[in-house]
Amino acid sequence: MELIQELEKIYQQAFTSIPKAQTENELDNLKNAFIGKKSSLSNITKKLGSLNVEEKKLVGQKVNEISRSIEELVYTTREKLQNAEIEQQISTEIFDILRPLPSKRRGTLHPITRIQMEVEDIFVSMGFQVMDGPEIETDYNNFQALNFSDDHPARDMQDTFYTDDGNLLRTHTSAIQVRALKVLTPPFKIIAPGRVFRYEEVDASHENTFNQVEGMVVGQDISIAHLIYTMEELLNQIFGKKMTVRLRPGYFPFVEPGFELDFQCLVCGGKGCSVCKHSGWVELLPCGLIHPNVLKFSGLDPSVWTGFAFGLGLDRLVMMRYGINDIRYFNSSNLRFLNQFQG
């Protein structure tokens, strides 16, 4: 079949050229050439509509297989380039630890950094591992592999910033979960902290740049009870007391069933303020059981493997912890605000 032959040719070209990349910029250009929005692989995908059912299934499976293989190759090549750069720096840079710093003024950790480190410690104590990923992501990792089709209306809820090469600033760290599903063998538990971006109207509780800690557990016979226990344990340890929470239905394409976990606003004590939109509750944690399609995209059998996922709004958690009434303070670079968190 002609399209299959084209796919094989793309596969061979990718596995010949990608490992030869000398820089990450060159690697990104090769990646976009093979699996980007305007790539040869994307052009073949556009031809699926003209095929019969059997041909469409055969070619579609081949496209997904090659796309995953190229993603994995780019991932391993990037690691090699980054490791080589670190080795180069170690061998050439000299740092004198005895030389005094230019200023005696002490710096301090940002409040979000403080709480992120605390959250990481809590999850690590429960057997989770911490994973990281790039802030500029592919559409596939940020949307498609999470059960967002190209025309899915849920994309409208996550308006974001696109780059000229078809990539985007990630709207959630769920993209790291997609990467984890490609490189880890279940069962596993991971969290993915990091900065995310959305085209938001900024107010006291919304920012266009904020922080999340997304998490995922994949195993056998995972239930909602495991999810609720994990979330309650996190909040109880963060605030040092039993928290008042509520669970209500919520829609997210990558979980089924999906929920919103809210907790009583600590700024106003549940009476209503600008932070909680005068409801007495703060939306903190969308969560749910992993949608079978997400597992299938990663090559896992949903009849064997199950799991849950959640997305923790780190900025709002910090606001509750310290009684901060405006999310915009975090990105303001206001030293009077930041100096309160010294020590």
Q: How far is CA 48 from CA 53, 68, 218, in A?
A: 9, 18, 32
Element containing residue 290 per DSSP (H, E): strand 281-290
Comparing 275 with 220, the larger pLDDT belongs to 220
Whether 47 and 117 map to the same domain: the answer is no
Q: Strand 245-249 relative to strand 209-219: parallel, antiparallel, unpaired? A: unpaired
Residue with tokens 């095929």: 51
Decide if 34 is inside a domain: yes
Whether 131 and 40 map to the same domain: the answer is no
Read off the pLDDT band of 8 (50, 70, 90).
confident
Q: What percent of the chain has pLDDT over 90?
A: 27
The residue-averaged pLDDT of 213-221 equals: 94
Read off the pLDDT band of 123 (50, 70, 90).
very high
Whether 25 and 123 map to the same domain: the answer is no
pLDDT of residue 242: 82
pLDDT of residue 119: 93
The three-point CA angle 332-338-342 to 5° equals: 165
pLDDT above 70: residue 298:
yes
The residue-averaged pLDDT of 319-342 equals: 85
Q: What percent of the chain has pLDDT over 70?
A: 94
Q: Which of 337, 340, 255, 242 is nearest to 291 (CA)?
A: 255
Cβ contacts of residue 340 below 8 Å, gap of 6+?
A: none
Whether 120 and 21 map to the same domain: the answer is no
Decide if 103 is inside a domain: no
d(CA 218, CA 35): 27
Comparing 144 with 186, the larger pLDDT belongs to 186
Q: Write the CATH number for 303.
A: 3.30.930.10
Decide if 99 is inside a domain: no
Q: What is the mean pLDDT of the chain?
A: 85
Most confident of 98-107, 182-191, 252-261: 182-191
Whether 117 and 208 map to the same domain: the answer is yes
Decide if 213 is inside a domain: yes
Whether 322 and 252 map to the same domain: the answer is yes
pLDDT of residue 106: 67
DSSP 100: P
pLDDT above 70: residue 313:
yes
Q: Which tens digits make up the pLDDT trace of 199-208?
A: 888 888 788 8
Read off the pLDDT band of 100 (50, 70, 90).
low
Whether 115 and 87 map to the same domain: the answer is no
Domain around 28: 2-92
Whether 120 and 22 map to the same domain: the answer is no
d(CA 308, CA 141): 18
pLDDT above 70: residue 157:
no
Whether 84 and 118 map to the same domain: the answer is no
pLDDT of residue 343: 58
Whether 185 and 320 map to the same domain: the answer is yes
Decide if 248 is inside a domain: yes
Whether 325 and 179 map to the same domain: the answer is yes
Whether 139 and 203 map to the same domain: the answer is yes
Read off the pLDDT band of 1 (50, 70, 90).
low
- Number of domains comprising the chain: 2
Decide if 158 is inside a domain: yes
Last residue of a domain, one of 57, 92, 127: 92
